[in-house]
C-alpha cells in the first residue's frame, strides 16, 4: 500500500510517459509520410557535436546518478509497511496516554466475524491506506455460506469495532474470499 | 514514675522509601480490579510475555509515573475501559502509598473475543 503522494507521482509519471510516447509515435509517422520539412535524411550534426564535447561525459554521469537516486527513492516509496501498530484512544491527556495494540483489536474483530456459521476463518489488521486508517478484515467463507448472514455479521462487527475504538477516523473494510472446496461435515454412522 | 520521652519530629525519625516494585504490584492489582479487564495470556504466551495486567513504575520522591498494560474483552469500549483503569490505578496507588501519581499510561495489549464459557470441572 502506498501513500496518496506516491500514487499521485505514479499517475503523473505515467501520463507524461504516455504523452511522450504518443508524441514520438506521431512525429515518426509524420516523418515517414514524407511531408516533413526535414526531408528523407536527418541532420544529426548538432547531436554528434554535443556528444563529442568535453563536458558531455560528466553531465551524462551526473544526470544518470540523479535519475538512479530518484528511481531508488521511487521504489522505496512503494515498499513502506502500511501496518499500524498502535492507536491512540480518546481521553489521552496530561493524566496519561491511552492506547491500544491495533493488531490485537483487529484480530478480536476477525475472531468475532469468524464466529459465524459459514465463515471458515478470518484475520484482521489495521493499515494506513492513502492517509486513511482502515481496519481490514479478511474472511474465508464456505462455498455454500449464506451471504446474507455473513453480510449482516460483517455489519455488526464493523459497528462493534467503531464502538470499541470510539474513533470516527477508522474505517472498517471486510473482504470475503470463497474457499475453493467445501469442507463437508463429518457424518456419524 | 519514668519520664515520658518526647519523640522527635516525624521527619527526623527516618525516611520512608517506596520502591518502584511496590507501586508496580499495587498498580497491576488495581488494574485487574477494573471490570472487563482479563488476563488473556496463558501457556507459552504467559511464559514469554508475562501476565496481564502488568505495570512499570518510576518513583521519584513523592511522585510517580506508571505505565500499565491490560487485556480487554471484545466488545468493551476501550476508551472508557482505559480511562477507568487510569483513574482506579492512580487512586489506589495514592491511597495505599501516599505517592502522588502524575500520570498513568494505559495500553490495551490484548483483546480477546470469547463466546465460549470457560470449562468447568464438576
Q: What pLDDT sits at residue A24?
A: 95
Is residue B118 predicted with pLDDT exceeding 50? no
pLDDT tens per residue across all 189 residues of chain A: 567 788 888 999 999 999 999 999 999 898 888 777 777 777 788 888 888 889 999 999 999 999 999 999 988 888 876 788 889 998 888 888 999 999 999 999 999 999 988 899 999 999 988 778 999 999 999 988 899 999 999 999 999 999 999 888 889 999 999 988 777 655 666
Contact A109 B107 (CB under 8 A): no
CA distances from A96 to A119, A167, B73, B83, B104 (A): 39, 18, 22, 9, 5
> Domain residues of chain A, as ranges?
4-31+44-78, 116-178
Half-sphere exposure of A88 (CA within 13 A, CB side): 6
Tell whether the model's pLDDT for residue B122 goes beyond 70. no
List chain A residues with CB under 8 Å of B80. 166
Do B74 and A94 count as a contact with CB atoms less than 8 A apart?
A: no
- Reported pTM: 0.69
Backbone phi and psi for residue A130, each to the nearest 5 degrees, phi listed first? 50, 50
CB contact under 8 A, A96 and B104: yes
> Is A98's CB within 8 Å of B109's CB?
no
Determine how many CB atoms are found less than 10 A away from the CB of residue B81.
Answer: 23
Distance (Å, rounded) from C-alpha A74 to C-alpha A170?
28
A158 interface with B at CB cutoff 8 Å: no
C-alpha distance from B7 to closest chain A C-alpha (Å): 39
Q: Does residue B72 belong to any structural domain of this protein?
A: yes
Of A90, A104, A108, the CB nearest to B79: A90
Q: The domain containing residue B64 runs over which residues?
A: 32-40+47-113
Binary contact (B111, A101; C-beta < 8 A) = yes
- The residue with cell 560528466 is A58
Residues 6 or more apart from A78 whose CB is under 8 A from it? A2, A6
Nearest Cα to Cα of residue A150 among A178, A120, A119, A171? A119
Contact call for residues A127 and A136 (beta carbons, < 8 A): yes
Residue B19 located in a structural domain: no
Under 8 Å between Cβ of A96 and B83? no
Q: How far is B121 from chain A (nearest CA, A)?
A: 25
pLDDT at position A187 = 62
Q: Which residues contact A117 (CB under 8 A, 6 or more apart)?
A: A145, A146, A149
Preferred mutation among A100, A157, A163, A166 to probe B, highest tally of B CBs within 10 A: A100
Cell of A40: 528523407
Closest CA to A122 of A136, A111, A135: A111
ipTM surpassing 0.90: no
Q: Do B79 and A115 touch (CB under 8 A)?
A: no
B10 to chain A nearest CA, in Å? 31
Among A86, A99, A108, beta carbon nearest to B113: A108
The terminus-to-terminus CA distance of chain B in angstroms comes to 67
Q: How many domains does chain B have?
A: 1
B63 in contact with A, Cβ within 8 Å? no
The C-alpha cell 488473556 sits at: B40
Tally of CB atoms within 10 A around B9: 7
Q: Where are the alpha helices (DSSP H) in chain A?
A: 4-32, 45-52, 56-77, 102-114, 147-165
**Is the domain covering A116-178 a CATH 3.30.300 domain?**
yes
| Domain presence at residue B53 | yes
Burial class of residue A47 (count of CB atoms within 10 Å of its CB; 0-12, 13-18, 19+): exposed
H and E: helices and strands count for chain B:
4, 4
pLDDT at B46 over 90: no
Residue B18, domain member (yes or no): no
CATH number of the domain that residue B86 is part of: 3.30.70
**Backbone phi, psi, residue A129, to 5°:** -110, 105
- In Å, what is the CA distance from B122 to each residue of A185, B117, B118, B119? 30, 14, 13, 10
Residue B97: all three cell numbers together: 502509598
pLDDT, greater one: B12 or A173: A173
pLDDT for residue B92: 94
Amino acid at each position: 500500500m502506498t501513500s496518496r503522494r506516491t500514487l499521485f507521482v505514479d499517475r503523473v509519471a505515467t501520463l507524461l510517459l504516455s504523452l511522450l510516447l504518443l508524441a514520438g509515435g506521431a512525429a515518426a509517422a509524420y516523418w515517414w509520410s514524407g511531408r516533413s520539412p526535414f526531408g528523407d535524411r536527418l541532420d544529426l550534426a548538432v547531436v554528434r557535436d554535443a556528444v563529442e564535447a568535453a563536458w558531455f561525459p560528466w553531465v551524462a554521469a551526473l544526470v544518470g546518478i540523479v535519475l538512479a537516486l530518484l528511481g531508488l527513492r521511487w521504489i522505496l516509496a512503494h515498499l513502506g509497511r502500511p501496518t499500524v501498530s498502535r492507536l491512540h484512544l480518546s481521553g489521552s491527556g496530561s493524566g496519561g496516554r491511552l492506547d491500544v495494540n491495533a493488531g490485537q483489536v483487529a484480530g478480536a474483530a476477525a475472531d468475532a466475524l469468524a464466529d459465524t456459521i459459514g465463515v471458515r476463518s478470518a484475520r484482521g489488521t489495521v493499515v494506513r491506506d492513502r492517509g486513511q486508517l482502515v481496519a481490514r478484515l479478511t474472511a474465508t467463507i464456505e462455498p455454500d455460506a449464506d451471504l446474507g448472514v455473513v453480510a449482516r455479521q460483517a455489519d455488526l462487527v464493523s459497528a462493534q469495532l467503531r464502538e470499541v475504538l470510539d474513533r470516527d477516523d477508522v474505517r472498517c473494510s471486510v473482504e470475503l474470499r470463497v474457499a475453493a472446496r467445501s469442507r463437508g461435515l463429518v457424518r456419524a454412522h | 514514675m519514668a519520664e515520658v520521652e518526647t519523640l522527635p519530629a516525624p521527619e527526623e525519625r527516618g525516611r520512608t522509601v517506596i520502591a518502584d516494585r511496590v507501586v508496580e504490584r499495587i498498580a497491576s492489582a488495581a488494574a485487574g480490579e477494573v471490570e472487563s479487564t482479563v488476563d488473556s495470556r496463558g501457556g507459552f504466551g504467559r511464559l514469554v510475555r508475562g501476565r496481564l495486567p502488568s505495570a512499570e513504575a518510576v518513583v521519584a520522591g513523592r511522585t510517580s509515573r506508571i505505565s500499565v498494560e491490560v487485556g480487554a474483552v471484545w466488545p468493551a469500549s476501550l476508551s472508557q475501559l482505559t480511562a477507568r483503569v487510569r483513574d482506579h490505578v492512580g487512586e489506589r496507588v495514592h491511597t495505599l502509598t501516599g505517592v502522588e501519581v502524575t500520570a498513568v499510561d494505559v495500553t490495551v495489549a490484548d483483546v480477546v473475543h470469547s463466546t465460549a464459557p470457560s470449562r468447568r470441572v464438576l
